[in-house]
Amino acid sequence: MKNAILGHQNIVTQLQNAVASERVAGAYLFSGVQGIGKETVALYFANLILCDHRTEEFSPCGECRACRTIKNGNHPDLRIIRPDGAQIKIDQIRELQQQIVYRPLEGPRKIYILANTERMNNPNNPAANALLKTLEEPPAASTLILLTENIESILLTIQSRCQIFPFYPMPIEELTVALIDHFSIDKEAAAAAAILSRGVVGKAITLIEKGITESEEVPEILEETDPLAAFRLAEQFEKNLDSLDELITWYRDLLFLQQGAPVELMTHTSAVDKLQTLVPRYSRIRLQQAIKTVFETKELLKRTNVTKIFALEVMCLKLLQGK
């Protein structure tokens, strides 16, 4: 089987080396934004550990019983744990603790992948402390792969028990080449997907699969004029904090347009006509201030315990009122 992973080659190589030298650790922590490829690489790693007939290039064969059961999602030694509702719950960790002490059934190790591990740091949810217990005394022949979109909210005591691999967006050029190679698409389409996804592989793949031709929707807050909309818009941002990074790119595009910069420099080239109509509403200072406001709000949310929704409401009010 061809190594089907786009990007993250040095992480993949390190994991391959760990398997080759039989030095697979008891716990890993993969961190990076949604869609960056953490779960894809974790599954690849699990597959590599469990495969019975690794290829000469040291990849899973894709054909043995282990590979086939992994593909069908029912290998007895591999489990993926996801948040049950908003959080990974203590009961899910207790179940893991009960199972992990038994020897693997078919492969050399039992492997647990925990998605969105940041979603157990709620003070009313003791799951993180329970998980820490397991990480402190990991049963032999077991490996936990924790995935997180926000490493800062993972207990330091948990982090220190794991081998940490940060996942970064791919350089646009490199992703463009990889997409051309992988999907047999033309250069323009690949470049557009790479730019729009800002190097996040999963987003680029989604864009290609659903077609990039449609133009992007301009965030509502850019068009809205009623300050009272701040409360509703703040709720939307709260549901998807990543959209704050996105929002900055929109204000930056408006700034580019206003200064007559070439369209190629913009992020949202497909929405340029719509943005053009918004330019007269904004002064240069207001746009610079807006970018600053969003940055400051992101920092505030990251570094302090300020109530999320409150910080976002203040941000939206400032953005709508141009202050």
For residues 44 and 251, which CB has a smaller minimum distance to Zn ion in the complex? 44
Size of the site for Zn ion (CB under 5 A): 5
- Minimum separation from the CB atom of position 7 to Zn ion (A): 23
- Minimum separation from the CB atom of position 318 to Zn ion (A): 55
Q: Computed from CA positions of residues 203, 207, 212, 215, in that sequence, does the dihedral angle turn out positive or negative?
A: negative
The region of 65-73, 134-142, 193-201, 255-263 touching Zn ion under the rule CB under 5 A is: 65-73
61 binding Zn ion? (CB under 5 A):
yes
268: Cα separation from own chain's centroid: 21
- Minimum separation from the CB atom of position 155 to Zn ion (A): 35
- Minimum separation from the CB atom of position 64 to Zn ion (A): 3
The region of 15-23, 66-74, 109-117, 148-156 touching Zn ion under the rule CB under 5 A is: 66-74
- Minimum separation from the CB atom of position 1 to Zn ion (A): 8
- Minimum separation from the CB atom of position 129 to Zn ion (A): 37
Binding to Zn ion by CB under 5 A, coded x per residue (else -) over 10-49, reads: ----------------------------------------
The region of 56-64, 124-132, 170-178, 183-191 touching Zn ion under the rule CB under 5 A is: 56-64
Residue among 12, 33, 67, 207 that touches Zn ion (CB under 5 A): 67
- What is the signed CA dihedral for 157, 158, 164, 165, rounded to 10 degrees? -140
For residues 106 and 246, which CB has a smaller minimum distance to Zn ion in the complex? 106
Residue among 48, 51, 205, 291 that touches Zn ion (CB under 5 A): 51
- Under the rule (CB under 5 A), what is the footprint of Zn ion? 51, 60-61, 64, 67
